[in-house]
Structure 1
């Protein structure tokens, strides 16, 4: 009887101190991360005309990520938002983690291509251009999508016929030319003055150009339309 009594007492004490097993931590649904990445890329391309389609690749299934209530998508500075690209998705709370997802973004729209070969320094006219439709996501960054962006500019390199035109291959008309008498406008904290100077080089709108004042001082400023150079102190 004593043995039976002590056995029952031991079982009762064990049941009193037994702790329930901890519930396993909830894991992040990979489908949610794909959706976050795709929504981010759609937003980045929302201002483009044409048909935009986004497909995010699979999330690494070997990663066990804690569930996140508000995952945030991001990209590294300078990363492409079209074509083949990579989007990061991160969580800051309750557990910090980051995962990278590859994606393919197709943007089918009109773009400008050369109808004839262009030589370096040639001024571009409408008859030398043609409007085509295609996926600019497969092309280099900066493809021209509006002829008005190219007309009157000059090519910085020779370009073969049928080549998509890029903004970095174009130079605007000079608004300031070497030897030209220009109006230099200087501004700063609480003041604004202007004076005449002579341009040392050529520059299109928005480019930096050097000028020489009547006193011989050399200043650098930003060329503006109308023969004006803006110098900010």
Structure 2
């Protein structure tokens, strides 16, 4: 997709430059700033509502570019109705009098309070409130992936080692493994006023609320249940 966009942009640029060199440059040309503004406006309109501050910046267009002045408002669109991301290409189109379309790269950054590490932590390390601090950072993308609430750290560990100062995002954290394969657990089944407990052996690792297979140590029957805590798996009656 990116190669196609670049190709389209270069083709439009070459055609216009060739026309200019032959003395057929257009008398009234579209302001490049207006094209950039249309691309930025389209991305800004699609950003989620937030108290954070967004910075939307269109790439600078080649000053040699000459496009016919548009008699109607410019039309801008995101590819395949996608959502804004750190980097996206926006199509800007003129319908009349001389139709043209140009593709403008746009970057989005966010400035918001984000949790960052006070110190380096190894892979699989739990992240405690003492390990982080809230800082206002300007980072690429939207706020969807950044963590600002320490409550979101509970029951999670680092997927990989991170140096001090690293911002915390949802994709660098994984749930804690509460139950290990081979571990003895309590199988709990309840229905109405009744509750049945039995001893079982986990056949796989499991995180909180994850469904795993457990073997009843008495009957040897294998059942599926949901990890409730570090020692209990709840099964359906």
Cα distance in 1 between the residues matched to 2:179 and 2:73: 55
CA distance in 2, matches of 1:50, 1:159: 25
Superposed, 1:25-40 pairs within 5 Å as 30-40=32-42
Structure 1 window deviating more from structure 2 (144-153 vs 96-105): it is 96-105
CA distance in 2, matches of 1:71, 1:183: 60
1:88-127 maps to which residues of 2 (within 5 A)?
A: 88-91=90-93, 98-127=101-130
The residue number in structure 2 matching 1:211 is 213
The total of aligned residue pairs comes to 190
Question: Which SS does the other structure have where 1:136 is aligned?
Answer: strand
Aligned partner (choices 146, 158, 161) of residue 143 of structure 1 = 146
Aligned to 1:72: 76
Query: TM-score, normalization: structure 2?
Result: 0.57
Structure 2 CA distance for aligned equivalents of residues 122 and 151 of structure 1: 12
Matched residue SS, 2:48: coil
Contact 1:41–1:81 under 8 Å retained in 2? no
User: Mind listing any 5+ residue stretches in structure 1 that lack a counterpart?
Assistant: 1-23, 185-195
In the alignment, what sits opposite 1:134? 137
For residues 224 and 97 of structure 1, the distance between their equivalents in structure 2, rounded to whole angstroms, comes to 58
Give the alignment's TM-score, normalised by structure 1: 0.57
Contact 1:86 1:100 in 2 (8 A): no
1:173 to 167, 176, 179: 176
Matches of 1:77 and 1:182, distance apart in 2: 47
| 1:15-60: CA deviation from partner (whole Å, max 9, x where unpaired) | xxxxxxxxx9x97654443233212222343334322222223345
Which stretches in structure 2 are left out of the alignment for 5+ residues?
Answer: 1-25, 190-197
> What is the root-mean-square deviation in Å for CA atoms of aligned residues?
4.6
Are the equivalent residues in 1 in contact too, given 2:38–2:92 (CA < 8 A)? no
Which of these two proteins has the greater Rg computed from alpha carbons? 1
Distance in structure 2 (CA, Å) of the matches to 1:103 and 1:69 = 20
